[in-house]
Amino acid sequence: MLFLSLLGLFLSTSSYHATKTLYVAGLLEMSDHWWSKYANFLPTLFQSAADEIFNRTDILDGYELKFVYGDTKGKEGLAGKVLNEVLSASPPKIAVFGPQMSDEVKLAGAITPFYNTIQMNFVAKTSTTKDKSVYSTLYSTNYIEDDLNPLRIALMNHFGWNRVATLAYNDDSFTSQIDEFHQALIDNNMTLITSGIITDLRNVENHITRLKQYDSRVIVGAFRSSAATTIFCEVYKQKLYGRRYTWILTGASMYRNWIKNADVKDITCTKANLYEAADYMITLDQNQLSSETKVTISGRTPAEYDSWMKSEASNTPYSITRSHPWIYDAVWALALGLNNSLKYLNGSKLEDFNYDRSDIRECIIKGMDEVSFDGVSGPVSFKDGRRIGQSFIQLNIEDNRTDAGRFDPYTGSITWDVTPSSLWPGFKWLIFNLIICGTELSIKKTCFGQIRVALSNSLARSATTQLIEKTLSSWFLAVGFTSAFGALFSKTWRVHVLFHNNSIRKKVIKDIQLFAVCGVLMAIDLSIMVPWTLFFSLQRKEVVVTIEDEENDITHKEIYTVCTSSTQVYWLCVQYVYKGLLLAFGTFLAWETRRVEVPALNDSKLIGFCVYNIVVVCLIGVPLNHILDDEQKTARFVLMNCFVMFCTALVLCILFIPKLKLRNETDNIKFVPSLNGKITSTVRPSQQTKAPSSGSNPDEKYRASEQTKNGHKSVAEASPALRGQALSPNPTTDTIIQSFVAEDSTTVC
Ligand SMILES: *[C@@H]1O[C@H](CO)[C@@H](O)[C@H](O)[C@H]1NC(C)=O
Ligand SMILES: *[C@@H]1O[C@H](CO)[C@@H](O)[C@H](O)[C@H]1NC(C)=O
Ligand SMILES: *[C@@H]1O[C@H](CO)[C@@H](O)[C@H](O)[C@H]1NC(C)=O
Ligand SMILES: *[C@@H]1O[C@H](CO)[C@@H](O)[C@H](O)[C@H]1NC(C)=O
Ligand SMILES: *[C@@H]1O[C@H](CO)[C@@H](O)[C@H](O)[C@H]1NC(C)=O
Ligand SMILES: *[C@@H]1O[C@H](CO)[C@@H](O)[C@H](O)[C@H]1NC(C)=O
């Protein structure tokens, strides 16, 4: 029963398709070669893939791939001979797999185009085969290091590097990739600072010296780990490592644990030196087995495939090469390429292929160029016969290689597994924000002139808040100045009016008039500030200041927002003119009344001193505010605030400390709310209060100072009279004293 049904199944499948066989030649180093132990497993691998493809109805339906093998023994001449023998034997082979050694592929790949047959390469890494005019039918599922150039350029773009140096060992595969890299630099407008080709390891010193002389920071190297010991020993001696330098090498040529296995007999460095010099170098590489977890075209994930193929290998006496995912994908790539070519065949059939059918070859090439699938080695497609696929950035710390990022050649983008900044030793993403009067200051430490901006949202405040703060601060400054200085100004003015009127009748200015003066000054201020705020409101602008720290190769970038408006300068001018006039006039009044000596007006001198003070500070501060540019933002901020604090504190101290003293000396002082109109009468500058106008006579000077003493004394003497409302024998003087004392406490605008 079981037998019958199996027979039925067999009959139905075999009669369902008249299966046509496509023959494929496999050139393997099956004997007498170190690779034989791997090569002998390949027939099993090929057949497993071919069976899976045969089982698929959507790929090469009705076709079967059949492999025919030839043994090249790893010798290039023999590979050429065997290739001709295998191809000449009937039936015609539509494709050739292998051989695996570079020299063999260079020879065989140049022959296959003349047989119009496709050749699949999956192990041999040779840059020679890049030449499409010679190797027109060769497709590689493995990578060559030249394929890392797009990643090198992407890395440079990512970090904003545009100056690079290269150092290659004199070997085709290295010089070829570096040549291609140099061309890519030109295409991307980047600068090649210097390049070196090491032909003799004894000359490494000169190469490293030149790298240093040209101030190379980013160095792309192409050499094997065997040369790396000598090179990094010299790098160590000339200190071409550390945060200032980035070495970018290739993972395929730099074996893992190369320092651990290094032979340090021939070099003058210890392994510890090498560890130090090669620390944090970057290696670029392509994976053999994809690390992704998605199901590939064969219906397996890369990991599933890997364990399946390894178990297949364990059933054979042979070993499995690390490159097996490329080999497996090569079979699928050919199958899909042939499947794609079906639509171009235009009546002909694949089974009609013979070595004269260049038209079928062209169809297959078109089909191969369209290949694009998810293989177990990652996405597979070809450009000019070269594999396009993912590449990786790996970081080497203490010779431990860890993944740092992946490069997708289709989008040209790098996906980072680590923060890119951790690619450098001792690199700290130093960000601190200072918030200064509505401005925000971020300082970022970067590397290699590279500037990365990390937004610190926690401290960034909304634009509106900043604008309001800044507007308020200009208001406070303008109004504060007017109210403080206006008060001093009006009092000085009163003293001036009292004592500098040559007419006999003296005028006493009432409190209300002082308030009026302050009010007028304030009104002028408002008439400037209100239209400014309403019609020419402030806008937010980001200012970026870059400070280079050559010593440590660090760029500090400060970003802060300033609030400004296009008409700012005119409004500032108006403010300065107005306030300047006020200051000038205040100074003049203070100067005029400098010699006024009245016990009752004991603070007129102090007020004058305050005015001078403010003038001097403004004379220094205002120009300084404009001279210091944005780069000295911090200095400006500190200076301006010191000036404001100093000025206001000094004025308050000068005015009020003596008053506290006075109040202590004369307790129970009774303040008269205001001056009575009727007392505006007959105060005249007595001999005692009017200082000598010309101070040239020493006698007069002496008298003046004596009078000053007397003046102080008279306040003390007058104090009993100040007690209570009782009128003293000399009513006018007393009332005046009282009124001035009263004014001191009330005339604060
Ligand atoms: C082919 O398909 C059959 C039926 O689906 C399955 O039993 C067999 O294992 C498949 N062979 C391969 C090589 O995948
Ligand atoms: C290089 O520079 C040229 C001219 O300056 C410009 O046309 C071209 O787009 C640039 N190429 C790249 C990749 O930036
Ligand atoms: C194979 O070719 C056929 C016909 O040209 C097409 O329908 C099918 O999608 C192809 N298979 C794949 C996997 O591309
Ligand atoms: C297909 O073949 C016909 C006849 O041989 C020819 O006229 C036509 O141009 C061919 N088409 C293509 C796309 O090659
Ligand atoms: C490197 O690997 C070794 C052995 O696995 C381990 O001991 C060492 O800590 C690793 N070093 C770093 C920096 O990861
Ligand atoms: C002096 O005082 C008189 C009377 O109050 C006044 O008319 C005159 O304008 C004053 N002169 C000055 C220079 O202030």
Cα 284–chain centre separation: 22
Average pLDDT over residues 270-282: 90
pLDDT at 510 over 70: yes
Output the CA 354–ligand 3 centroid distance in Å: 23
pLDDT at 36 over 60: yes
- 159: enclosing H helix or E strand: helix 149-159
Least confident segment among 50-54, 298-302, 675-679: 675-679
pLDDT at 602 over 70: no
Dihedrals φ, ψ of 22, to 5°? -105, 125
Other CB atoms within a 10 A radius of the CB of residue 495 amount to: 24
Output the CA 360–ligand 4 centroid distance in Å: 13
Which residue, by CA, sits nearest to atom 6 of ligand 2? 189
pLDDT at 442 over 70: no
pLDDT at 222 over 80: yes
Cα 128–chain centre separation: 39
List b or e across 87-105, with b for residues whose CB sees 16 or more CB atoms inside 10 angstroms.
Answer: beeeebbbbbbbbbbbbbb
pLDDT grade, residue 593 (50/70/90)?
confident
Which residue, by CA, sits nearest to atom 7 of ligand 3? 58
* Contact of 611 with 488, CB cutoff 8 Å: yes
Which residue, by CA, sits nearest to atom 7 of ligand 2? 189
Which bound ligand lies closest to the C-alpha atom of 13? 1
Helix (H, G, I), strand (E, B) or coil at 447: coil
Q: Is 188 in the pocket of ligand 2 (CB under 6 A)?
A: yes
- 662: enclosing H helix or E strand: helix 633-665
Q: Which residues pair with 346 in a beta bridge?
A: none
What local confidence, expressed as pLDDT, does residue 674 receive? 43
| Spatial distance between the Cα atoms of 608 and 601, rounded to a whole number of angstroms | 12
Pocket test for ligand 1, best of 55, 56, 297 (most atoms within 8 A of CB): 55
| Spatial distance between the Cα atoms of 466 and 482, rounded to a whole number of angstroms | 24
Looking at the CA of residue 402, tell me the nearest atom of ligand 5: 14
**Regarding predicted confidence, which is higher, 318 or 623?**
318
Dihedrals φ, ψ of 564, to 5°? -150, 165
Least confident segment among 283-287, 376-380, 486-490, 526-530: 486-490
Output the CA 284–ligand 5 centroid distance in Å: 20
Q: What percent of the chain has pLDDT above 90?
A: 40
Please write the tens of the pLDDT for every residue from 571-592.
Answer: 888 888 888 888 888 888 878 7
> Residue 460: is it exposed, middle or buried by C-beta count within 10 angstroms (0-12/13-18/19+)?
middle
Please write the tens of the pLDDT for every residue from 697-716.
Answer: 444 343 333 343 443 433 33
Output the CA 345–ligand 4 centroid distance in Å: 9
Q: Is 51 in the pocket of ligand 1 (CB under 6 A)?
A: yes
Closest CA to 596 of 605, 585, 583: 605
What local confidence, expressed as pLDDT, does residue 440 receive? 35
Average pLDDT over residues 427-452: 36
Which residue, by CA, sits nearest to atom 1 of ligand 6? 501
Locate 216 and state its tokens.
């190379």
Looking at the CA of residue 187, tell me the nearest atom of ligand 2: 13
What local confidence, expressed as pLDDT, does residue 17 receive? 53
What local confidence, expressed as pLDDT, does residue 688 receive? 39
Output the CA 509–ligand 6 centroid distance in Å: 11
pLDDT grade, residue 479 (50/70/90)?
confident
pLDDT grade, residue 453 (50/70/90)?
very low
Q: Is 191 in the pocket of ligand 2 (CB under 6 A)?
A: no
Which residue, by CA, sits nearest to atom 5 of ligand 6? 507
pLDDT grade, residue 15 (50/70/90)?
very low
Q: Is 497 in the pocket of ligand 6 (CB under 6 A)?
A: yes
pLDDT at 9 over 50: no
**Regarding predicted confidence, which is higher, 275 or 477?**
275
Residue carrying structure tokens 């119009």 = 116
Least confident segment among 90-94, 101-105, 348-352, 690-694: 690-694
In sequence order, the 6+-apart residues with CB closer than 8 A to the CB of 280 are 241, 246, 395, 396, 397, 423, 424, 425
Output the CA 61–ligand 1 centroid distance in Å: 15
pLDDT at 420 over 50: yes
> Quick one: CA dihedral 576, 582, 584, 587, positive or negative?
negative
What local confidence, expressed as pLDDT, does residue 603 receive? 66
pTM: 0.62
Looking at the CA of residue 397, tell me the nearest atom of ligand 5: 13
Q: Which residues line ligand 3 (CB under 6 A)?
A: 58-59, 339, 342-343
What local confidence, expressed as pLDDT, does residue 445 receive? 34
* Contact of 23 with 50, CB cutoff 8 Å: no
Locate 611 and state its tokens.
């005015």
Q: Which of 109-123, 243-257, 340-354, 522-536 has the highest mean pLDDT?
A: 109-123
Pocket test for ligand 2, best of 183, 186, 189 (most atoms within 8 A of CB): 189
Q: Is 359 in the pocket of ligand 4 (CB under 6 A)?
A: no
DSSP 217: -
What local confidence, expressed as pLDDT, does residue 647 receive? 86
| Spatial distance between the Cα atoms of 358 and 116, rounded to a whole number of angstroms | 6
Please write the tens of the pLDDT for every residue from 714-748.
Answer: 333 333 333 333 333 333 444 443 444 333 333 33
| Spatial distance between the Cα atoms of 74 and 685, rounded to a whole number of angstroms | 124
541 Ramachandran zone, left/alpha/beta (phi>0; psi -120 to 50): beta
Average pLDDT, the chain: 78
Q: What percent of the chain has pLDDT above 70?
A: 76
Output the CA 587–ligand 5 centroid distance in Å: 76
Helix (H, G, I), strand (E, B) or coil at 131: coil
Looking at the CA of residue 346, tell me the nearest atom of ligand 4: 1
pLDDT at 167 over 90: yes
- 71: enclosing H helix or E strand: strand 63-71
Average pLDDT over residues 85-105: 93
**Regarding predicted confidence, which is higher, 457 or 570?**
570
Looking at the CA of residue 400, tell me the nearest atom of ligand 5: 1
Average pLDDT over residues 22-42: 93
What local confidence, expressed as pLDDT, does residue 676 receive? 42
Output the CA 188–ligand 2 centroid distance in Å: 7
| Spatial distance between the Cα atoms of 605 and 661, rounded to a whole number of angstroms | 16
Q: Is 52 in the pocket of ligand 1 (CB under 6 A)?
A: yes
Please write the tens of the pLDDT for every residue from 184-201.
Answer: 999 999 999 999 999 999
Which bound ligand lies closest to the C-alpha atom of 498? 6
What local confidence, expressed as pLDDT, does residue 5 receive? 52
| Position 52, amino acid | E
| Spatial distance between the Cα atoms of 213 and 238, rounded to a whole number of angstroms | 11
| Spatial distance between the Cα atoms of 249 and 252, rounded to a whole number of angstroms | 9
| Position 105, amino acid | V
| Spatial distance between the Cα atoms of 734 and 740, rounded to a whole number of angstroms | 10
Which residue, by CA, sits nearest to atom 1 of ligand 5? 400
Output the CA 344–ligand 4 centroid distance in Å: 9
Cα distances (Å, whole numbers) of residue 586 to 118, 491, 608: 99, 10, 8
What local confidence, expressed as pLDDT, does residue 689 receive? 38
| Spatial distance between the Cα atoms of 30 and 25, rounded to a whole number of angstroms | 14
Helix (H, G, I), strand (E, B) or coil at 559: strand
Which residue, by CA, sits nearest to atom 10 of ligand 5? 400
Residue carrying structure tokens 């061309």 = 183
Which residue, by CA, sits nearest to atom 1 of ligand 2? 189
Cα distances (Å, whole numbers) of residue 60 to 162, 339, 377, 582: 48, 5, 22, 97
**Regarding predicted confidence, which is higher, 565 or 15?**
565
What local confidence, expressed as pLDDT, does residue 702 receive? 39
pLDDT at 448 over 90: no
Average pLDDT over residues 404-423: 85
Helix (H, G, I), strand (E, B) or coil at 449: coil
What local confidence, expressed as pLDDT, does residue 564 receive? 76
What local confidence, expressed as pLDDT, does residue 600 receive? 59
Which residue, by CA, sits nearest to atom 3 of ligand 1? 55
What local confidence, expressed as pLDDT, does residue 675 receive? 44
In sequence order, the 6+-apart residues with CB closer than 8 A to the CB of 459 are 433, 435, 440
Pocket test for ligand 3, best of 54, 56, 58, 366 (most atoms within 8 A of CB): 58
What local confidence, expressed as pLDDT, does residue 457 receive? 35
**Regarding predicted confidence, which is higher, 318 or 688?**
318
Dihedrals φ, ψ of 434, to 5°? -115, 135
